[in-house]
Amino acid sequence: MGFAESTGAGISDVHSHLQDGRFGDDLTVYFERARARGVRRFVCCGTSPADWKKTAEIAKKYPNVFPTFGVHPWNVGRIDGDWETALKIMLDATLSADGVSGAALGEVGLDFAVRNLDAAAQETVLRTQLEIANERKLPVVLHSVRANDLTLKILRDYSKVPVWLLHSWTATEAEIERALASNVFFSFSPRCVAPNAVRARETVAKVPRDRILVESDAPTPLPPNGYGKPLSQIASFAVEARDSDGALLSAPASVVGVAEEIAAIRKTPIDELYRQIALNEKRFFQCWPTR
């Protein structure tokens, strides 16, 4: 499918980090490009106390941005002071602020693939944050890498969490089945559908269709070889930002390319997939707190 005829038909980017400095301070261009391609709502995920304020400001400044606040597992070693109180204050202030689309806990989780990240400390920080979400009945945006057993246990431990977003999760069919005991959605990023991401693509093929969402995970670099098509044919590559090494960065418009690739993997017509994602999003966003 070429650039012009491909539109996202009202889908959302449910996981991004638009507060990242590589996007600069004026995000208008990224939202405009996304909207032009039919991407309407944007979940912007904080990752540490250092970026919560900017995340909150983005949600106040731009329409249809849903902010989340949390400590990402990669940042567990970098937090100090009373970060827990700061997190509660940020969540509560955002939940009661005018003109902001709710708030959730995220991006939090477990990452046992990265060396030098203490596993026990990750679990402690995650559970501290999940208590806060459980108490407030907040959605949770979860990062889980090589930690599936513990993740599946944790999903069951916090039963008042109304919805979990398992972001770019790679899992077996049995693990997917176990996760479905909780109200989970699976969101897939450009990296999950890259041609060489064999296990991630298998996950894309196996999750139930009424649980699929799409995400840019911006500004994570896009797969360097596209999706096996010439880059010029992929709209999401015709953008956006580049990092200092020249790699193309994912941005909210990139979810259109992700949806097209999910449709190809699942052998589903793209229009049918868009309709399904729109229905899924409705159920996902209904779980977000509103004032």
Q: Which residues bind Zn ion (CB under 5 A)?
A: 107, 217
Q: Which of 8/219 has CB closer to Zn ion? A: 219
DSSP element (H, E) containing 212: strand 212-214
287 contacts: CB under 8 Å, gap ≥ 6: 139, 162, 163, 183
CB of 86 to Zn ion, least distance (A): 20
CB of 229 to Zn ion, least distance (A): 25
CB of 107 to Zn ion, least distance (A): 5
Q: CA-CA distance, 245 to 39, in Å (whole number)?
A: 28
CB of 97 to Zn ion, least distance (A): 23
135 preceded by cis ω (within 30°)? Answer: no
| Alpha carbon separation from 163 to 10, 85, 181, 210 (Å, rounded) | 21, 23, 11, 14
CB of 122 to Zn ion, least distance (A): 15
| Alpha carbon separation from 261 to 165, 193, 236, 269 (Å, rounded) | 20, 6, 12, 11
Are 249 and 242 in contact by the 8 Å Cβ rule? The answer is: yes
Helices 254-266/198-206 angle, 10° precision = 70
Q: Which of 107/260 has CB closer to Zn ion? A: 107
Q: Which of 217/261 has CB closer to Zn ion? A: 217
